[in-house]
């Protein structure tokens, strides 16, 4: 009985370590994406996607990296996989909009990005600002410079709110 209990405890500990390692790898992939180290993103995230094919966050990371590397077929497949898993997924819809932009389907891109913007909670300032910047870029491509400038101004305002909110909720140091 004691041996069974020990084996059970060790097994649970190994599972917890595996989960921690998986989460650590996801964080590393996201950091590499933010730093523009796209080949590193693929080295980290592709094995994760094989091991957990239903993890939308990993597919979102891969879709972004593929698109930015110009691997459009792979970006499309990753994005479609996200949307197949969860059709209302905002990351998948955002990537689909950006891919429409790549294919020069600007009305389709705007439609998807507007959907994403409207569905993003108002408290998620950074996500909303990012989407507005993407919409502004498409407006510029359509020669709607004044509208694009207004969107960029609103995006800057939202980023400022994010910073203000972070400062307001920060825990002060107690010495």
Check: CB of residue 106 under 8 Å from CB of residue 138: yes
Task: Give the separation between CA 96 and CA 101, rounded to whole angstroms.
Answer: 9
Structural domains of the chain ordered from first start: 29-87 (1.25.40.10), 107-164 (no CATH)
Per-residue pLDDT tens listing for the chain (175 residues): 665 554 455 454 444 445 558 889 999 999 999 999 999 999 999 999 999 999 999 999 999 999 999 999 999 999 999 999 999 999 999 999 999 999 999 999 999 999 999 999 999 999 999 999 999 999 999 999 999 999 999 999 998 887 776 677 666 665 5
| pLDDT at residue 17 in the model | 43
pLDDT at 10 (0 to 100) = 47
Burial of 70: CB neighbours in 10 Å, binned 0-12, 13-18, 19+: exposed
* DSSP code for 133: H
13 is written with which tokens? Answer: 């500990």
Q: How far apart are CA 164 and CA 168, in angstroms?
A: 6
Q: What is the pLDDT of residue 5?
A: 53
pLDDT computed for residue 116 by the predictor: 97
Closest to 102 in 3D by CA, of 67, 77, 50, 127: 67
- pLDDT for 159 equals 87
């Amino acid at each position: 009985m004691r041996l069974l209990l020990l084996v059970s405890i060790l097994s649970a500990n190994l599972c917890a370590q595996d989960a921690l390692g998986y989460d650590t790898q996801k964080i590393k992939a996201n950091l590499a994406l933010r730093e523009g180290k796209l080949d590193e993103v693929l080295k980290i995230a592709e094995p994760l996607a094989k091991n957990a094919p239903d993890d939308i966050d990993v597919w979102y990371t891969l879709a972004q990296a593929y698109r930015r590397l110009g691997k459009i077929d792979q970006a499309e497949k990753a994005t479609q996989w996200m949307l197949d898993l969860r059709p209302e997924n905002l990351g998948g819809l955002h990537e689909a909009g950006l891919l429409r932009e790549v294919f020069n389907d600007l009305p389709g891109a705007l439609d998807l990005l507007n959907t994403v913007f409207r569905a993003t909670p108002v408290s998620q300032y950074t996500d909303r600002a990012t989407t507005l910047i993407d919409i502004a870029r498409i407006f510029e491509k359509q020669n709607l410079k004044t509208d694009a400038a207004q969107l960029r101004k609103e995006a800057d305002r939202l980023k400022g709110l994010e910073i203000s909110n972070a400062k307001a909720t920060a825990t002060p140091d107690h010495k």
